[in-house]
Amino acid sequence: VRSLEFGTILRNELLFALRALKPGGHLYFAYQLGIYSMLFRLLLALRPAFGRVRVTPTFAAHRTPLYVFLGEYSGAESPAAVAALTFLEALPTAGAGAFVAWHLSAWDGAARALHAELSPDLHAVWRTQEGYLREQRLTAERQFGADGAARKGGGKGG
């Protein structure tokens, strides 16, 4: 449910942006979910209308959001932009098929090409998150060890 709520908000923002953005313009948004099948579905629709795409980690490494940069917009009248707008307008926001419609369900040539294009960026995002999670785990292990040592050291009940 949360993903559809977020998706509906993002869809509306993207519809507004694609209609307002001038040819050659750039679009930047925060993708706030860790659901990559949804991100790839949206990017597969948007990518043809832009000359460039990048994803980067946010400044908060402990969070799953990432930033998406789309550059060199072809313009709202271009066939690629019209297709993206049509796709976004048709996305259901409720009902039994809504969740499936929002997510990439087949790994076809277009999806593989997009993944190959974004692979260096996605690895940078994941390395940033991995570094944070590793440090968090080590901190927890140190704290657990310190708590165990304190209990063995003769506190109450020791």
Spatial contact of 50 and 72, defined as CB atoms under 8 Å apart: yes
Q: Give the residue from 117, 55, 43, 115 showing the smallest Cα distance to 84.
A: 43
CA distance 10 to 14: 6
Tens digit of each residue's pLDDT (9 = 90 or more) over 67-110: 999 999 999 999 999 999 999 999 998 888 888 888 888 889 99
pTM for the full predicted model: 0.76
Provide the percentage of residues in the chain whose pLDDT is more than 90. 49
| Lowest-pLDDT choice from 37-46, 82-91, 114-123, 138-147 | 138-147
Which residues, 6+ apart, have CB-to-CB distance to 53 below 8 Å? 43, 46, 47, 68, 69, 70, 71, 114, 117, 118
CA distance 139 to 71: 40
C-alpha distances in angstroms, 29 versus 6, 53, 77, 81?
13, 12, 22, 17
Q: Is the pLDDT of residue 156 over 70?
A: no
Spatial contact of 82 and 49, defined as CB atoms under 8 Å apart: no
Looking at every residue in the chain, the average pLDDT score rounds to 87
